[in-house]
């Protein structure tokens, strides 16, 4: 009995494929599988890239830092030797060339450094840089251009550090793990770890940071082994601590991509569900005939199950193949970001693609198809006998469950996706209700006065139930397309504004007050932009709410461990600044920017604190902070907390005072400015003109981020294509679902004398109306969904531009009437006699 | 006993069919009893709405009566569930319908082959070819129903009905959708095959002339047998 079901199933399937019955269903299923496969192939690689970005920024997957020399077994134990390791020692000391001396930040690194990323160096100052994958050889030093300027030396000259002499071999442009806290750094001298003992600068008690960088897979085991051995003065940092901008972009991209694939899946599921419903309706007669010829209910079920499984297999193969090709494309686009040795595309995404196909197909198509089992054989004589309709909720719950299972399989951020699924379910209910209402309104009798428009309205109302389903399907589809489209533009625009073409690429600090005005006009002349100079006064935070900071720090030890900046903020001197207006790139997140005199009740000066520092040290609004500035205590009350956009590349300060508090203390100034590549030689001139200043180039970092943005933008556009394809499948499937009724009606009307033109016109009018209504509902829905998505997930300001309310409905009216007219072209093309015979 | 009259192949006793439509109970058939012998041909006649097609559906096991009992080829349909009745249909019954009921996605040949596939005998392809030749359509076996005329479609339907060599053939207004000339050709074919294969024929028609070609007629009026 099984084999005959198989024979019948395969024969019917083959024939139906040829007749085009299954095309939309197959198309939608292939799109869903391809989208899933692409994303799961790709996210694996992307998330590795993200981790490597973080790893680059801290120097390894796990980093041990201590103020005293590290235990040798941390490098040499069996566990540690399973990892790639590098040793780094950083300290401040004086670099000397003849009579000139400079306080330099020396970094001594072992031969394996850097584990992630690359060093960038140039043979001469301000010339083209190149990658270097190994540190300087013993005896050589790579130095910041500032070292050359300040010591007045050239590449090839020698400098002394402690009792050792080094030949300056290259200009150091970029270290991957240098961090973003640029202006706290003294000029860098990079030497080989092997030279450290020769230099004899580090004695017991000397202040230095000792680091071991680890790179490898099983960080957890290493962490568990190291953690109990960490005495005071040591800390562990892992990649999760990294919260840098580029990383954030990749994280958002990843979220966007999973969202995109999920929406493609939802849309495809919708298309499959609609096609399967029509498929089952068109198979009542076939099933009745099969029953009449003696097929049992079990045989009928088997026949259709076999068909569905075959479809899943065929679409699975096609979809996985497409997915593989697409992810290869994406990987090529992103090859510069993904410069780690990535494993080749594995087998797992193929499994996920197949499972997705089977789950979607069975979840959405099985309920309507199983209904065919209940078709009475008597239908062959009485066509009005249709099986009892399955309850709508059975279909929806089945589909929702199927999607939820998929989400659990696929989504890395299940909560987000569940929220979206719940949102979509809610939107479906809402849209169905509103659509019903609109159709009711169109039934109210005014339509007779409206000519062709009225005829379109009548047609809408005539098939109210079917049209409610159609418009809802259109609206959900358009809504998801609008959501993902808006999000794409918003993300890209947001990133673009974050890193505009003219973002500053140089920092200047140590500007003496006497040089301030002259430097300003000099920079205006050279870079063409007004530079804002911020005053900078060194001070130490000593008390928070009258509690000495050290105890606060110990309370916060848990959260401080992974935040190397936090204790530095306390341990070292902070740069304090003052400013009248909130600087560009900053945003108040709590409290208010400077009060005017009327609200100054505490009599204490106000202070604005960067949010991250406030979080780490548990500083609240209205807390009092006491600073030690040049031996004097200054107590101020926290009146606002600020965030700062790192991407603005303008100077940032943990602490801002209002003008008038710090003015009496010795200050230097800092600024950032943009210098076009071709003018870089003027830097030498600048440094000569203002001998006291320090110039720091951040060009390489900016270019790196710009490149990431560009490529990520391409990836996002490519993925949007899947959503558009799936959306298109829904449109076609939905229109096709009413095709029989339309063909029949069209044939009758033509038999009664309606011209093709007239028929075409009312078809267009009906579809355009549906499109317009669906478009309106879609924008409303997208606004609601985006309000959640933007704020909770992507840190963006929500709000569709106003013109969307006109653009989307009109575009939808155009699109749907075009697709609809094309899909129903047979109502005006095929002979009415043939059609009437077909429906007899 | 050996040369006694053939045994009845269909026995219906006190058949009744009531349906509920819009809250009202409607009697379609009541108290219908009849016997049909093997190889006999029976016409069920009556005006529209008299219950002819309902009776045919019940006798063929396509529907179940609300009263009475039917024995078809020695099996009590009352005792069987829907799948059991499907098996009886597959083994013993063939159908010809007014609207042909060919599957539009299958070719003429595949339509005729379908009952054999359901029975698990897809190998009997030769008998299919023979039958197609017998109905005069072997040259059009690869055509789809939409490419065939009404008469040709009905001839394919007849071939499909005979391909399993059924004991009983049920025909529901087999010429209802055909013009007089084509209808006559189709009916001739039906009767010829019926005779050749000694099949029992139960036919619903409102065509008196056609009814007269059958061995026996029963007339229905308002769900009851008024003339047998």
* Contact status of A16 with chain B (Cβ, < 8 Å): yes
Same structural domain for residues A138 and A271? no
Query: Using CA atoms, how far apart are residues A779 and A790, in angstroms rounded to an integer?
Result: 15
Contacts of B62 in chain A (CB under 8 A): 292, 376-378, 380-381
Question: Min CA distance, B1 vs chain A (Å)?
Answer: 34
Sheet holding B168-172, edge to edge: B93-96, B168-172, B200-204, B41-46, B216-221, B224-227
Start-end of H helices in A20-140: 23-58, 73-76
* Contact status of A298 with chain B (Cβ, < 8 Å): yes
Where does a domain end: A670, A697, A724?
A697
Same structural domain for residues A556 and A682? yes
- Residue by residue, DSSP assigns A767-808 as HHHHHHHHHHHHHHHHHHHHHHIIIIII-------TTHHHHH
Contacts of B82 in chain A (CB under 8 A): 296-297
User: Which of A770, A40, A793 has the alpha carbon at shortest distance from A477?
Assistant: A770
Same structural domain for residues A189 and A274? no
Same structural domain for residues A539 and A685? yes
* Contact status of A19 with chain B (Cβ, < 8 Å): yes
Gyration radius of chain A's alpha carbons: 34
* Contact status of B78 with chain A (Cβ, < 8 Å): no
Q: Count other Cβ atoms within 10 Å, centred on residue A624.
A: 16
- The span from the first CA to the last CA of chain B, in angstroms, equals 27
Query: Using CA atoms, how far apart are residues A162 and A104, in angstroms rounded to an integer?
Result: 12
Gyration radius of chain B's alpha carbons: 18
pLDDT category of residue A549 using cuts at 50, 70 and 90? confident
DSSP conformational letter for A387? P
* Contact status of A740 with chain B (Cβ, < 8 Å): no
- Mark yes or no for CB contact A296/B87 under 8 Å: yes
Residue A488 above 50 pLDDT? yes
DSSP conformational letter for A116? S
* Contact status of A299 with chain B (Cβ, < 8 Å): yes
Higher per-residue pLDDT: B57 or A176: B57
Same structural domain for residues A306 and A452? no
Contacts of A289 in chain B (CB under 8 A): 101, 103
Return the structure tokens found at A808: 């989307």
Residue A551 above 60 pLDDT? no
User: Which of A91, A25, A57, A307 has the alpha carbon at shortest distance from A175?
Assistant: A57
How many domains, chain B? Answer: 1
Residue A50: the pLDDT is 60
* Contact status of B124 with chain A (Cβ, < 8 Å): no
Asked if A477 and A755 count as a contact pair (C-beta separation under 8 A), the reply is: no
Same structural domain for residues A800 and A709? yes
Question: Min CA distance, A377 vs chain B (Å)?
Answer: 6
Residue A192: the pLDDT is 93
Residue B15: the pLDDT is 93
Domain assignment of residue A284, yes or no: yes
Same structural domain for residues A386 and A267? yes
> Which residue of B85, B99, B103 to mutate against A (max A Cβ within 10 Å)?
B103
**3-state class (DSSP) for residue A409:** helix
> Which residue of B55, B59, B117 to mutate against A (max A Cβ within 10 Å)?
B117
Residue B214 above 70 pLDDT? yes
> Which residue of B65, B83, B173 to mutate against A (max A Cβ within 10 Å)?
B83
Where does a domain end: A365, A384, A412?
A412
| Nearest Cβ partner for A297 among B83, B93, B172 | B83
pLDDT in tens, B107-162: 898 889 888 887 777 667 788 888 899 888 989 988 988 888 888 999 999 999 98
Domain assignment of residue B68, yes or no: no
> Which residue of B60, B101, B142 to mutate against A (max A Cβ within 10 Å)?
B101
- Mark yes or no for CB contact A295/B118 under 8 Å: yes
| Nearest Cβ partner for B62 among A11, A21, A377 | A377
- Mark yes or no for CB contact B62/A376 under 8 Å: yes
Contacts of A376 in chain B (CB under 8 A): 62-63
Same structural domain for residues A769 and A839? yes
B160, closest residue in chain A (CA to CA) = A293
**3-state class (DSSP) for residue A830:** coil
Residue A34 above 50 pLDDT? yes
Domain assignment of residue B55, yes or no: no
Spatial neighbors of A523 by CB under 8 A, at least 6 apart, are A508, A529, A531, A671, A673
- Looking at every residue in chain A, the average pLDDT score rounds to 77
CB pairs under 8 A between A and B: 90
- Mark yes or no for CB contact B105/A292 under 8 Å: no
Return the structure tokens found at A198: 């020769």
* Contact status of A392 with chain B (Cβ, < 8 Å): no
- Mark yes or no for CB contact A15/B105 under 8 Å: yes
Domain assignment of residue A75, yes or no: no
Domain assignment of residue A72, yes or no: no
- Residue by residue, DSSP assigns A622-653 as T-EEEEEETTEEEEEEEEEEEEE-GGG-S---
CATH of the domain at B161: 3.40.50.300
Query: Using CA atoms, how far apart are residues A163 and A198, in angstroms rounded to an integer?
Result: 7
Could you give the C-alpha distances from A254 to A40, A495, A705, in angstroms and in order? 11, 15, 16
- Rounded to 5 degrees, what angle do the CA atoms A686, A188, A144 make? 40
* Contact status of B117 with chain A (Cβ, < 8 Å): yes
Domain assignment of residue B153, yes or no: yes
Query: Using CA atoms, how far apart are residues A596 and A157, in angstroms rounded to an integer?
Result: 56
Asked if A97 and A153 count as a contact pair (C-beta separation under 8 A), the reply is: yes
Residue A392 above 70 pLDDT? no
How many domains, chain A? Answer: 4
Same structural domain for residues A643 and A515? yes
- Mark yes or no for CB contact A4/B118 under 8 Å: yes
Q: If you average pLDDT over each of A59-63, A115-119, A305-309, which comes out highest?
A: A305-309
Question: Min CA distance, A280 vs chain B (Å)?
Answer: 15
Residue with tokens 């082959």: B113
Domain assignment of residue A417, yes or no: no
- Mark yes or no for CB contact A377/B89 under 8 Å: yes
pLDDT category of residue A250 using cuts at 50, 70 and 90? low
A838, closest residue in chain B (CA to CA) = B146
* Contact status of B90 with chain A (Cβ, < 8 Å): yes
For A:517-556, CB contacts with B below 8 A are: none
Query: Using CA atoms, how far apart are residues A641 and A617, in angstroms rounded to an integer?
Result: 13
Spatial neighbors of A103 by CB under 8 A, at least 6 apart, are A92, A93, A94, A95, A186
Asked if B119 and A294 count as a contact pair (C-beta separation under 8 A), the reply is: yes
Contacts of B28 in chain A (CB under 8 A): none
User: Which of A264, A246, A333 has the alpha carbon at shortest distance from A719?
Assistant: A264
Domain assignment of residue A234, yes or no: no
Domain assignment of residue A232, yes or no: no
* Contact status of A286 with chain B (Cβ, < 8 Å): yes
Could you give the C-alpha distances from A822 to A19, A250, A401, A731, in angstroms and in order? 18, 41, 34, 12
- Mark yes or no for CB contact B101/A285 under 8 Å: yes
pTM: 0.64
Asked if A253 and B70 count as a contact pair (C-beta separation under 8 A), the reply is: no
| Nearest Cβ partner for A4 among B53, B95, B120 | B120
Residue A475: domain span: 429-500+699-840
* Contact status of B212 with chain A (Cβ, < 8 Å): no
Same structural domain for residues A458 and A540? no
SS3 content of chain A, % helix, strand, coil (to 5): 60, 15, 25
Residue A690: the pLDDT is 81
- Looking at every residue in chain B, the average pLDDT score rounds to 87
Same structural domain for residues A264 and A399? yes
CA–centroid distance for A208 within its chain: 38
Query: Using CA atoms, how far apart are residues A123 and A139, in angstroms rounded to an integer?
Result: 17
- Mark yes or no for CB contact A297/B82 under 8 Å: yes
Domain assignment of residue A838, yes or no: yes
Contacts of B120 in chain A (CB under 8 A): 1, 3-4
- Mark yes or no for CB contact B62/A290 under 8 Å: no
Residue B1: the pLDDT is 42
Return the structure tokens found at A555: 């309370």
Any bridge partners for residue A262, and if so which?
none
> Which residue of A10, A294, A383 to mutate against B (max B Cβ within 10 Å)?
A294
pLDDT in tens, B28-83: 899 999 999 998 999 999 988 888 888 998 998 888 899 999 999 999 988 888 78
- Mark yes or no for CB contact B86/A1 under 8 Å: no
Please report, to the nearest 10 degrees, the dihedral formed by the alpha carbons of residues A630, A635, A636, A641 taken in order. 70
B166, closest residue in chain A (CA to CA) = A293
Domain assignment of residue B16, yes or no: no
> Which residue of A16, A293, A307 to mutate against B (max B Cβ within 10 Å)?
A293
Start-end of H helices in A384-500: 392-410, 414-442, 452-462, 464-498
Residue with tokens 């006491």: A626
B105, closest residue in chain A (CA to CA) = A15
* Contact status of B81 with chain A (Cβ, < 8 Å): no
Query: Using CA atoms, how far apart are residues B224 and A627, in angstroms rounded to an integer?
Result: 109
pLDDT category of residue A156 using cuts at 50, 70 and 90? very high
Secondary structure of chain B as H, E, C letters = CCCCCCCEEEEEEEEEEEEEECCEEEEEEEEEEEEEECCCEEEEEECCCCCHHHHHHHHCCCCCCCEEEEEECCEEHHHCCHHHHHHHHHHHEEEECCCCCCCCCCCHHHHHHHHHHHHCCCCCHHHHHHHHHHCCCHHHCCCCHHHCCHHHHHHHHHHHHHCCCCCEEEEECCCCCCCHHHHHHHHHHHHHHHHHHCCEEEEECCCHHHHHCCCEEEEEECCEEEEC
Query: Using CA atoms, how far apart are residues A443 and A457, in angstroms rounded to an integer?
Result: 8
Residue A49: the pLDDT is 64
Query: Using CA atoms, how far apart are residues A409 and A124, in angstroms rounded to an integer?
Result: 54
User: Which of A107, A114, A135 has the alpha carbon at shortest distance from A208?
Assistant: A107
**3-state class (DSSP) for residue A720:** helix
Domain assignment of residue B31, yes or no: no
Residue B92: domain span: 39-49+82-227
Higher per-residue pLDDT: A713 or A50: A713
Percent of chain A whose predicted confidence (pLDDT) is above 90: 6
Domain assignment of residue B95, yes or no: yes
Residue B66: the pLDDT is 92
Query: Using CA atoms, how far apart are residues A100 and A551, in angstroms rounded to an integer?
Result: 42
- Residue by residue, DSSP assigns A241-300 as G---HHHHHHHHHHHHHHHHHHHHHHHHHHHHHHHHHHHHHHTHHHHHHHHHTT--HHHH
Residue with tokens 């019903």: A436
Domain assignment of residue B74, yes or no: no
Query: Using CA atoms, how far apart are residues A643 and A633, in angstroms rounded to an integer?
Result: 26
Domain assignment of residue B207, yes or no: yes
Question: Min CA distance, A314 vs chain B (Å)?
Answer: 20
Dihedral sign, Cα of residue A133, residue A138, residue A140, residue A141: positive
Residue A774: the pLDDT is 86
CA–centroid distance for A494 within its chain: 12
User: Which of A382, A375, A322 has the alpha carbon at shortest distance from A721?
Assistant: A322
User: Which of A363, A431, A418, A436 has the alpha carbon at shortest distance from A395?
Assistant: A363
pLDDT in tens, A325-356: 887 777 776 665 555 445 555 677 788 788 87
Where does a domain end: A356, A387, A412?
A412
User: Which of A545, A542, A577, A543 has the alpha carbon at shortest distance from A658?
Assistant: A577
Question: Min CA distance, A746 vs chain B (Å)?
Answer: 19
- Mark yes or no for CB contact A381/B122 under 8 Å: no
Same structural domain for residues A526 and A640? yes
**3-state class (DSSP) for residue A408:** helix
What is the ipTM score, two decimals?
0.77
Domain assignment of residue A623, yes or no: yes
Asked if A377 and A297 count as a contact pair (C-beta separation under 8 A), the reply is: no
Return the structure tokens found at A731: 């449109």
pLDDT in tens, A188-236: 899 999 998 888 888 776 778 888 888 887 778 888 888 888 776 777 8
Q: If you average pLDDT over each of A61-75, A725-739, B42-56, B98-112, which comes out highest?
A: B42-56
């Amino acid at each position: 009995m099984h084999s005959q079901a198989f024979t019948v199933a395969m024969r019917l399937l083959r024939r139906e494929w040829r007749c085009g019955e299954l095309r939309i269903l197959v198309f939608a299923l292939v799109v869903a599988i391809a989208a899933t496969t692409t994303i799961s192939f790709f996210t694996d690689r992307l998330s590795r890239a993200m981790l490597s970005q973080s790893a680059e920024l801290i120097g390894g997957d796990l980093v041990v830092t201590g103020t005293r020399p590290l235990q040798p077994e941390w490098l040499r134990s069996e566990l540690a030797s399973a990892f790639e390791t590098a040793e780094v020692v950083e300290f401040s000391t004086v670099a000397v060339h003849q009579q000139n001396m400079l306080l330099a930040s020396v970094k001594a690194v072992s031969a394996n450094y850097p584990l992630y990323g690359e060093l960038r160096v140039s043979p001469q100052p301000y010339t083209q840089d190149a990658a270097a994958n190994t540190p300087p050889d013993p005896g050589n030093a790579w130095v910041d251009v500032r070292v050359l300027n300040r010591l007045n030396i050239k590449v090839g000259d020698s400098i002394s550090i402690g009792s050792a002499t080094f030949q300056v071999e290259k200009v150091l442009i970029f270290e991957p793990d240098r961090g973003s806290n640029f202006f706290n750094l003294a000029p860098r001298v990079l030497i080989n770890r092997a030279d450290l003992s020769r230099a004899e600068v580090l004695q017991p008690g000397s202040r230095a940071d000792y680091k071991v960088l680890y790179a490898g897979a099983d960080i957890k085991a290493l962490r568990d082994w190291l953690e109990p051995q960490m005495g005071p003065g040591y800390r562990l940092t892992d990649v999760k601590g990294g919260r840098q901008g580029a990383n954030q972009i990749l994280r958002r991209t990843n979220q966007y991509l999973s969202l995109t694939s999920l929406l493609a899946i939802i849309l495809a599921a919708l298309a499959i569900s609609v096609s399967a419903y029509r498929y089952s309706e068109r198979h009542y007669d076939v099933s009745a005939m099969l029953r009449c010829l003696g097929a049992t209910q079990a045989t009928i079920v088997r026949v259709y199950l076999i068909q569905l499984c075959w479809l899943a297999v065929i679409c699975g193969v096609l979809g996985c193949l497409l997915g593989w090709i697409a992810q290869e494309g994406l990987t090529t686009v992103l090859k510069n970001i993904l410069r780690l040795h990535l494993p080749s595309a594995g087998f797992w995404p193929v499994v996920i693609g197949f499972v997705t196909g089977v789950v979607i197909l069975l979840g959405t198509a099985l309920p309507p198809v199983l209904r065919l089992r209940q078709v009475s054989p008597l239908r062959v004589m009485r066509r009005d006998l249709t099986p009892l309709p399955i309850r709508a909720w059975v279909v929806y719950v089945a589909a929702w469950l199927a999607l939820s299972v998929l989400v659990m399989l696929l989504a890395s951020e299940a909560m987000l996706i569940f929220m979206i699924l719940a949102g979509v379910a809610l939107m479906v209910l809402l849209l169905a209700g509103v659509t019903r209402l609109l159709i009711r309104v169109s039934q109210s009798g005014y339509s007779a006065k409206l000519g062709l428009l009225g005829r379109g309205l009548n047609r809408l109302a005539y098939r109210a139930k079917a049209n409610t389903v159609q418009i809802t399907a259109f609206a959900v589809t358009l809504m998801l397309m609008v959501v993902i489209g808006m999000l794409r533009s918003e993300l890209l625009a947001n990133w673009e504004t974050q890193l505009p073409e003219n973002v500053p690429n140089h920092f200047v600090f140590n500007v003496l007050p006497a040089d301030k005005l002259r430097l300003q006009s000099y920079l205006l002349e050279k870079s063409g932009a007004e530079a804002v100079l911020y005053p900078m006064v060194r001070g130490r935070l000593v008390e928070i709410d009258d509690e000495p900071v050290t105890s606060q720090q110990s309370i916060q030890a848990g959260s401080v461990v992974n935040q190397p900046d936090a204790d530095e903020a306390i341990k070292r001197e902070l740069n304090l600044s003052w400013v009248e207006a909130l600087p560009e790139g900053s945003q108040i997140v709590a409290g208010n920017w400077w009060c005017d005199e009327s609200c100054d009740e505490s009599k204490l000066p106000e202070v604005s604190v960067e949010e991250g520092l406030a979080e780490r040290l548990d500083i609240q609004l209205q807390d009092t902070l006491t600073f030690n500035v040049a031996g004097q205590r200054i107590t101020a009350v926290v009146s606002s907390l600020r965030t700062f956009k790192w991407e603005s590349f303008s100077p940032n300060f943990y602490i801002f005072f209002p003008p008038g508090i710090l003015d009496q203390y010795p200050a230097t100034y800092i600024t950032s400015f943009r210098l076009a590549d071709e003018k870089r030689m003027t830097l030498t001139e600048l440094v000569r003109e203002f001998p006291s200043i320090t110039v720091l180039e951040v060009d390489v970092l900016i270019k790196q981020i710009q490149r990431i943005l560009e490529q990520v933008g391409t990836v996002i556009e490519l993925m949007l294509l899947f959503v558009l394809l799936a959306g298109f499948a829904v449109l076609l499937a939905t229109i096709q679902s009413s095709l029989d009724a339309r063909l029949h009606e069209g044939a009758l009307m033509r038999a009664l004398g309606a011209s093709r033109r007239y028929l075409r016109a009312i078809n267009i009018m009906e579809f355009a109306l549906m499109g317009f209504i669906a478009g309106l509902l879609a924008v409303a829905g997208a606004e609601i969904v985006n309000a959640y998505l933007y704020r909770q997930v992507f840190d963006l300001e929500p709000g569709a531009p106003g013109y969307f309310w006109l653009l989307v409905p009109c575009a939808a009216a155009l699109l749907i009437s075009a697709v609809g007219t094309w899909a129903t072209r047979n109502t005006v093309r095929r002979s009415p006699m043939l059609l009437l015979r077909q429906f007899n | 006993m050996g040369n006694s009259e053939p045994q009845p192949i269909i026995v219906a006793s006190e058949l009744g069919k009531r349906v509920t439509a819009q809250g009202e109970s409607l009697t379609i058939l009541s108290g219908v009893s009849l016997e049909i012998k093997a190889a006999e041909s029976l016409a069920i006649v009556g005006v529209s709405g008299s219950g002819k097609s309902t009776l045919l559906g019940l006798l063929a096991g396509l529907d179940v009566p609300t009263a009475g009992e039917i024995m078809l080829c020695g099996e009590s349909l009352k005792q069987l569930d829907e799948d059991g009745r499907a098996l009886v249909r597959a083994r013993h019954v063939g159908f010809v319908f007014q609207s042909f009921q060919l599957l539009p996605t299958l070719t003429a040949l595949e339509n005729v082959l379908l009952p054999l596939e359901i029975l698990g005998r897809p190998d009997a392809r030769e008998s299919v070819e023979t039958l197609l030749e017998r109905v005069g359509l072997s040259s059009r076996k690869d055509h789809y129903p939409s490419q065939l005329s009404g008469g040709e479609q009905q001839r394919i339907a007849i071939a499909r009905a005979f391909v399993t060599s059924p004991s009983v053939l049920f025909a529901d207004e087999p010429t209802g959708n055909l013009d007089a000339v084509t209808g006559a050709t189709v009916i001739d074919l039906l009767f010829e095959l019926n005779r050749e294969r000694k099949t029992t024929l139960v036919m619903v028609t409102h065509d008196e002339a056609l009814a007269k070609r059958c061995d026996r007629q029963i007339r229905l009026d308002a769900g009851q047998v008024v003339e047998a």
